[in-house]
Structure 1
């Protein structure tokens, strides 16, 4: 059943990355979930990522004995999860993805009863453990997000490099074809055959020239994709460094 969430800001740590110009934060917030007011840790979703809940599902699988499932379009719950790094008690690990202002945010809640959850007031040591866990998930999500983006660009780069190699091979083949046709034409005495060879040479040269004309654009595309990979890698490293400081 889809649950209603409303968010109230309690605590904020904000970090501005210098390159991406994007606010990073890890904040304790309150949310109404299934009729109960619960506390949790919230952070901004990586820009351009629509898979934060999928990342949550994978992360929970790696760090608990529970399996997360969808609970509505923007919420995922791992019921009765045992996460010793947080507390000795079992609870429901909840992730809710929502839009706040100009950015998308995900909030994590560890609920141990209908209206009982980890918070800074009554469960401060455990809540700090939870913060460390949430921070680890935040780093994991950003890493996965950038890995997906880099892999997508690498796929484009591989296709462009393949096309570039094919063009080089075609140009080389057409050069050889032109040379062979010229050689054969010089041996011809029949004017009809000579004219035929000239037409074939003209076609081969035109095809080769079109490929050569396209080469600068393809080279620029390859260069741009390589630069994009470098930039994304640098951004990923910058985010990881920024998250570590939160």
Structure 2
């Protein structure tokens, strides 16, 4: 049986992509699967400092972590590489590493930098090109899109879904990276609107500040849907947070 390969991208920076990657990994580990996490291009981290892949391991537990390139400034990978005078990262390198990890693991998670079309080299190649190269090599792969819950998210989810479809990249679904403790009307409405904008299912909703949970694996299982190995029920969650239950806000 071949490994499942998931590319994890976000609608933007700071949407909870690393914690979401850790949640998917934690649920898989809980199920007894062998998990690997690959961070093709890490930016904004000095040599010797823990990066995103290390944070995934801290949260999720014992798994394989790999990093292909590290650039010191917190910029897009192509800009960070150019400014540091360091080599760019090619899709072929990602394919080689993914293939190696897939040969010995049940699940391979590839966490991108920023959004889907952030550039990795001077030819404009992106995480989407990396995923396309993996598919073209004969390996199965799909994309998980981590999105914010509030206003402005629907447009960028729709744009990302269109970019994926244009490249023939399968979108597994959308995962809310940080569900607020006190959701407003926009967040509640977006539970129904996000899958419509994406043309793909809602895969879960991680509570805000999930990274600080005492039992991260249990929280991850309760926050991810069956498609990602969890026990989260989208219909129940959507019903509990239906727009009609939003608190009324008076004008100041």
TM-score (norm 2): 0.25
Q: Specify the structure having the higher radius of gyration (Cα).
A: 1
The alignment's TM-score, normalised by the length of structure 1, stands at 0.25
